[in-house]
Amino acid sequence: MARTKVIAGNWKMNKTAAEAKEFFNEFLDKINVADPEVVICPTYMTIPAAVEAVKGTNVGIGAQNMYFEESGAYTGEVTADMIIEAGCKYVIIGHSERRQYFNETDEGVNLKTKKALEKGLIPIPCVGETLEERESGKAFDVLKEQTTKMLEGISKEDAKKIILAYEPVWAIGTGKTATDEQANEACGYIRKLVKELLGEEVADAMRILYGGSVNAGNVKALMSMSDIDGALVGGASLKADFVTLVNFKEA
């Protein structure tokens, strides 16, 4: 099955609204937004400015997190409805930094993924092992546990809408990148798990991204791998030359 590539930028805790406008003024003039699918995930406070900037284009805006409850006494959290109203179509869930610094759990990732799907958002849940887990031979065990728990209770039709991101923790923001073969092997293993859990049709349809120090120098080779359907990009998405990654086919 031909799967549309996705290049998603995760701005993390960077850029004000004014800086976002400056970025998009330069970025949007240089991209072919038809292929691949392009997603930018700014901070909550910057979402309205980003949504306004991409009007009339095919660039999608996403949030970096959301809570699974509809409302309530959850100080500092936002709901799916709130980010939808702000103009988001996507939401990153369970990024390793959320797991590491904010005690995100596999159970929470599952609940958030379900809520996003229920509300019509496209979830981008993240899975990935630490360096210690990889070096001790436990990488695939970690991926199995995280992926299985993330998909628990999700229907086949809903699962097809998920964009799953493989992000080895040891490669995020470190400058280290999994080799093309390592990244493809892990994404292929995740696809095999999805097939075992939900069937071949879902596994063929689900897009699986690689994230971990993706840059202009390695993106084309990574995107040529059989089981890598795009990239979730951190630091390299903060500058307008992120366009080089989006236009990887021209490189």
- Cis status of the peptide bond prior to 36, with omega within 30 of 0: yes
Residue 95 is among the residues annotated as catalytic for this protein = yes
Q: Is 137 annotated as a binding residue?
A: no
Question: Which residue in the list 37, 95, 97, 129 is annotated as catalytic?
Answer: 95
Helix (H, G, I), strand (E, B) or coil at 62: strand
Q: Scanning the structure block, which residue is given the tokens 């709130």?
A: 82
Question: Which residue in the list 37, 97, 133, 167 is annotated as catalytic?
Answer: 167
Partners of 209 in beta bridges:
165
Q: Is 173 annotated as a binding residue?
A: yes
Q: How many CB atoms lie within 10 A of CB 231?
A: 29
DSSP 8-state assignment for residue 41: E
Q: Is 212 annotated as a binding residue?
A: no
Q: Is 12 annotated as a binding residue?
A: yes
| 161 and 122 Cβ atoms separated by less than 8 Å | yes
Determine the Cα–Cα distance for residues 82 and 114; give it in Å rounded to an integer.
16
Instruction: Find all residues with CB under 8 Å of 74, minimum gap 6, and list them.
Output: 67
Residue 250 is among the residues annotated as catalytic for this protein = no
| 121 and 88 Cβ atoms separated by less than 8 Å | yes
Structure tokens at 93: 């869930």
Which residue from 41, 101, 37 is spatially nearest to 237, judged by alpha carbons?
A: 41
Q: Is 11 annotated as a binding residue?
A: yes
| 113 and 146 Cβ atoms separated by less than 8 Å | no
Structure tokens at 251: 């490189």
Instruction: Find all residues with CB under 8 Å of 124, minimum gap 6, and list them.
Output: 8, 39, 62, 90, 91, 92, 93, 162, 163, 164, 165, 209, 232
Binding-site positions for substrate: 10-12, 173, 213, 234-235
Residues with catalytic roles? 95, 167
